[in-house]
Chain A
Amino acid sequence: KNQVEQSPQSLIILEGKNCTLQCNYTVSPFSNLRWYKQDTGRGPVSLTIMTFSENTKSNGRYTATLDADTKQSSLHITASQLSDSASYICVVIYFASGGSYIPTFGRGTSLIVHP
């Protein structure tokens, strides 16, 4: 069964600190993996998209890694800011028979950054 597991479920850190969020998946056949940020009351916004051959991708203070062999990804946030407080969702896309791309969502990690 295709699943995406994220950890931790929630995380509280102080402003300026770094943190790392984890994503493990069993989705197959793999197409790509995405990290989304969802602010309270808003729709998710894409942070990074990674394909099978990519190990690391950065977007400002956000750096995502992918190990396709172990089916693990991480999102590292550097020098956290109050505006980083949000839910971070890992989404793995697989290519289904019939030619469609199916997204499988993790349950997200809720990050709270305190001043």
Chain B
Amino acid sequence: DTAVSQTPKYLVTQMGNDKSIKCEQNLGHDTMYWYKQDSKKFLKIMFSYNNKELIINETVPNRFSPKSPDKAHLNLHINSLELGDSAVYFCASSSFGNEQFFGPGTRLTVL
């Protein structure tokens, strides 16, 4: 069983569309994260949720909105997609402050 799973793995869409990426973890962790990895492979944290509460909200456009329906899920919704949003998005989870386990990533391509 996959510990941290993301869907979809690939997402190709037009500029201006709205899309969502789903993340689920079955590790019983209380903290989940979203990262963006650009073409230069630099991982940048976007959001972190602990027990369904937002604890980290880095400077990202408000077109990005995380939603955590429960401790095992943290979804990322993106409105009005732009070319610069093209990247690989990784979800991760951890027990608060401990090792993070990453999902396989979602490669988003905005045309």
Contacts and interface: CB of A to CB of B under 8 A. Distances in A.
B72 interface: no
Q: Interface extent on A, as a size class?
A: 20 to 34
A46 B45 contact: no
Interface residues of B, number: 23
29 contacts: A31-B97, A34-B99, A41-B105, A42-B104, A42-B105, A43-B90, A43-B92, A43-B103, A43-B104, A44-B43, A45-B102, A46-B99, A49-B99, A87-B41, A95-B97, A98-B55, A100-B50, A100-B56, A101-B96, A101-B97, A102-B45, A102-B56, A103-B45, A105-B42, A105-B43, A107-B41, A108-B41, A108-B42, A110-B41
Interface of A: 31, 34, 38, 41-46, 49, 87, 89, 93, 95, 98, 100-103, 105, 107-108, 110
